[in-house]
Amino acid sequence: MKRIGVLTGGGDCPGLNAVLRAVVKTADNDYDVKVIGFNDGYEGLIENRYRELSNRDVSGILTRGGTILGTSNRADPFRYPVLQGEEYVYLDRSTQAVRNFEALGLDALVAIGGDGTMAASAGMMELGLPIVGVPKTIDNDLVGTDVTFGFDSAVVTATDAIDKIHTTAQSHHRVMIVEVMGRYAGWLALSSGLAGGGDIILIPEFPYDIEAVCNAVKERNAAGKRFSIVVVGEGAHPAGGEMVVDRRIETSPDAIRLGGVSRQVAAQIEGLTNLECRVTILGHLLRGGSPTAFDRILATRYGTEAVHMVMRGEMGQMVAMKGSNIGSTPMSEVAGKLRTVTPDHPLVKAALSLGVCVGLPMGVPIEESLAEEATT
């Protein structure tokens, strides 16, 4: 092995630069291997846009958010959007990507990304590209790993926001609704909701019953607690209802962008309780800023291990956290799947023990409520 490539794909998050730094330094210090960085995820590999990354290039980037390479969440090599006239057409550019990879004399590729990048990488592996994956996303929804880097930083940012919103909630005796990202998984809402002392936490996995939500608010008021904090995952939806779609990005492999459910929740709570509500949608704030110490360490461990895996020839694997140990999972097992919150997860149990309403009737076993919802 003399030369390897690296790219960052999908939505950005804190810790991407920390992984790049670890990859370049480990390749150089431990193996004397050169690293080529592709710009904007698979787009750079398809369009042959790259640059060599030296130790000097990655010096000082550990603490920086975003990615020095740039990224793209619409660069699927098998369905690559190309503007023809005023319309996009979709072309299979995977063979071009393989040709560019070979022309550069690369021995392997480290692909840092979420489910979209892992799915593309699993496909490129089948075309003979030797790839090792690194799991990233603030959503923490990748299967095969206990945690993705970027998640902890997003939880810390969301928790800080919830803490700040608490003061207005208390002072003005309002119901404050905080919407967080997370797509189809509730990890970010559940974790920041618990850390921020949320009274009601709504997540996509548990379709909510608005009466149960309002009862929880009213009970708090009756007990003299004249405010409530509701933390809502962007994918939360009422029982029998749909997720709220903010927009569609047709060139993106998953076109749907969620957002705005908190406004519906606020309107319903106001209507049913007569209490004043306010909405804060945190959105892309959650993807920005410097990574937490936890994410810096995780990203560093992932980056160094990815290079060791490349050198051991463990291609087609994604580096993964299993308990407190670093392991790996085949990328083919990650692609196209989602890791979501289950009713028996310890975080859910802890929330229920604290009396947090998760959008379902209180006092009824959660599995029972969900089963009942499924049949109605």
Binding positions for ligand F6P, rule: CB under 6 A: 11, 73, 114, 137-139, 181-183, 234, 257-258, 287
Q: Catalytic site residue 12?
A: no
Q: How near is the Cβ of 73 to ligand F6P at its closest, in Å?
A: 5
Please, what is the minimum distance in Å from the beta carbon of residue 184 to ligand F6P?
Answer: 9
Pick 137 or 369: Cβ nearer ligand F6P: 137
Q: CB within 8 A of 248, min separation 6: which ones?
A: 255, 256, 257
Toward ligand F6P, which CB reaches closer, 137 or 262?
A: 137
Of 35 and 299, the one with the shorter C-beta distance to ligand F6P is 299
Which residue, 158 or 258, is less far from ligand F6P as judged by CB? 258
CB of 11 to ligand F6P, least distance (A): 4
On the 0-12 / 13-18 / 19+ scale of CB atoms within 10 A, 324 is: exposed
Residue nearest to ligand F6P (CB): 181
Nearest to ligand F6P of 44, 253 (CB atom): 253
Closest to 316 (Cα-Cα) out of 303, 337, 338, 334: 334
Least Å from the CB of residue 12 to ligand F6P: 8
Nearest distance from C-beta of residue 236 to ligand F6P, angstroms: 12
Residue of 12, 40, 139, 295 with catalytic role:
139
Q: How far is the CB of 136 from ligand F6P (least distance, A)?
A: 9
Q: In this complex, which beta carbon is closest to ligand F6P, that of residue 177 or of residue 180?
A: 180
Which positions are annotated as active-site residues?
139
